[in-house]
Copies of this chain bind each other. A is one copy, B any other.
Amino acid sequence: MQSFTEENYLKIIYHLSVISNPVQTNAIAERIQTKAASVTDMLKKLSDKDLVDYIKYQGVTLTEKGKLTAINIVRKHRLWEVFLVDKLNFKWDQVHEVAEELEHINSPLLIERLDEFLDFPKVDPHGDPIPDQYGNFADLSFVKLSKLNTHEKGTITGVSEHSSPFLKHLEKLGLTLGKKIEILEIIDFDGSVELLIDDRKLNISKEVAKHILISK
């Protein structure tokens, strides 16, 4: 069994692995709000427990065991987020912090029953896929809205930024999951995107467009 802290490290390493592999010490330190020296200490510990492969000065990768542990935490996090939104009427920008705590509750029965209670959801309120109990993800194909060309159409199915200010902004613009959009024009000057949503014209910045995920 892992401690709360160890679990957080594994989760962060898992998320950072998508961007760069192996994962650098400093990247972890920044995400976990701690110092590089502390990260080094923890990496040694996780390595001793066979949860990561760690090479001095090179970085870390998760072992199979570490990866399964990390995915299980992600699974719990996302299921709790669905619970908070679907059952307790939380807004999608309110769920992250609470789920960060709930994800460490250790009870396989609880998660099994919660999954069932929520009717086996495949994605969380931000469109992120929820792995099954064996760590398998249903593969969903997303494209960043910022990669679409003029006249292309699609449906908003996810976001790649989970901060409350960003999500509130989307909410205000009406850009929520399931909404259908069409690209009208990409403005050369600043890269902003003019799109059609709910029969209205809307201009969003390049920065915003980068974090909206579209499926066709």
Contact = CB atoms under 8 A, between A and B. Distances in A.
- When all copies of this chain in the complex are counted, the total is 2
Interface residues of A, number: 18
B87 A110 contact: no
Contacts of A98: 105, 107, 109-110
Contact of A117 (B88, B109, B113): B88
A117 B110 CA distance: 18
A94 interface: yes
Contact of A88 (B89, B101, B110): B110
A187 B122 CA distance: 59
The A contact surface, by secondary structure, is: helix
A91 to B, nearest CB: 10
Contacts of A97: 107
A105 B97 CA distance: 11
A90 to B, nearest CB: 7
A209 interface: no
B110 A84 contact: yes
Interface in A90-134: 90, 94, 97-98, 101-102, 105-107, 109-110, 113-114, 117
A105 B110 contact: no
